[in-house]
Chains A and B, each alone.
Chain A
């Protein structure tokens, strides 16, 4: 079993829909990252969080440490949100474990 599991693996939605991507992990962590990888390959860090909730524009990330679960939400989704979203957990000594990613496709 992978230490970091993301769901769904692939998601296609219509423009404007509310999107939720989930990440569950089985190890103790110090922080969790949500990354966005665009079709061109570049990786951008969206959020780093260790508790609660963070919001940036139309993106919201939440984490429940007790349940070892995080969600990334996109409100009013847009075709430019189409990308691969990767959950990564930071464990001791700066070691990081990645999920397999969720490929999101927003249709106009």
Chain B
């Protein structure tokens, strides 16, 4: 298995634009997590899904952020409209039983 796949790896956009981050979990894993990492706040859990259903989205910073998991092999994290303070590395991880496997991350820069 190729591991957790994220795209794009880098994204630079202007504030106000819509940004969509993509994640393909490891086949067979039933949980998927979206994290954000910044220098100030470290790693933070944004939302996680179990069997494609959102379980806890309390970490989503505001309504500009939304996440979907239409099927077991794909998830998106969307920011609309984006703001400079959204600049961070966004990680996706998947798991089957507790142990999580991280994707390489998407480095987002909003100017």
Q: Does A31 contact B (CB under 8 A)?
A: yes
Q: Does B44 contact A (CB under 8 A)?
A: yes
Stretch at the interface among A63-71, A72-80, A91-99: A91-99
Q: Does A61 contact B (CB under 8 A)?
A: no
Q: Are A41 and B56 in contact (CB under 8 A)?
A: no
Stretch at the interface among B16-24, B67-75, B76-84, B93-101: B93-101
When the two chains form the complex, which single residue of B31, B43, B44, B101 contacts A94, counting CB atoms closer than 8 Å? B31
Q: Are A30 and B98 in contact (CB under 8 A)?
A: yes
Q: Are B100 and A33 in contact (CB under 8 A)?
A: yes
Q: Closest Cβ of chain B: how far from A52's Cβ, in Å?
A: 16
Q: Closest Cβ of chain B: how far from A101's Cβ, in Å?
A: 6
Count B-side interface residues using an 8 Å CB cutoff: 21
| Nearest A residue (CB) for B9 | A41
Q: Closest Cβ of chain B: how far from A44's Cβ, in Å?
A: 7
CB neighbours of B50 from chain A (8 A): 94
Interface string of A1-41 (1 = CB under 8 A from B): 00000000000000000000000000000110101000001
Known A41-B107, A42-B104; judge A96-B99 contact (CB<8 A): no
Residues of B bordering A, CB below 8 Å: 31, 33, 42-45, 48, 50, 55-56, 89, 91, 95, 98-102, 104-105, 107
Residues of A bordering B, CB below 8 Å: 30-31, 33, 35, 41-45, 48, 86, 88, 90, 93-101
Beyond the given A35-B102, A43-B102, A94-B50, please list 16 additional residue pairs across the A-B interface where CB-CB is below 8 A.
A30-B98, A31-B98, A33-B99, A41-B104, A41-B105, A41-B107, A43-B91, A45-B102, A48-B98, A94-B31, A94-B56, A94-B95, A95-B45, A98-B42, A98-B43, A100-B42
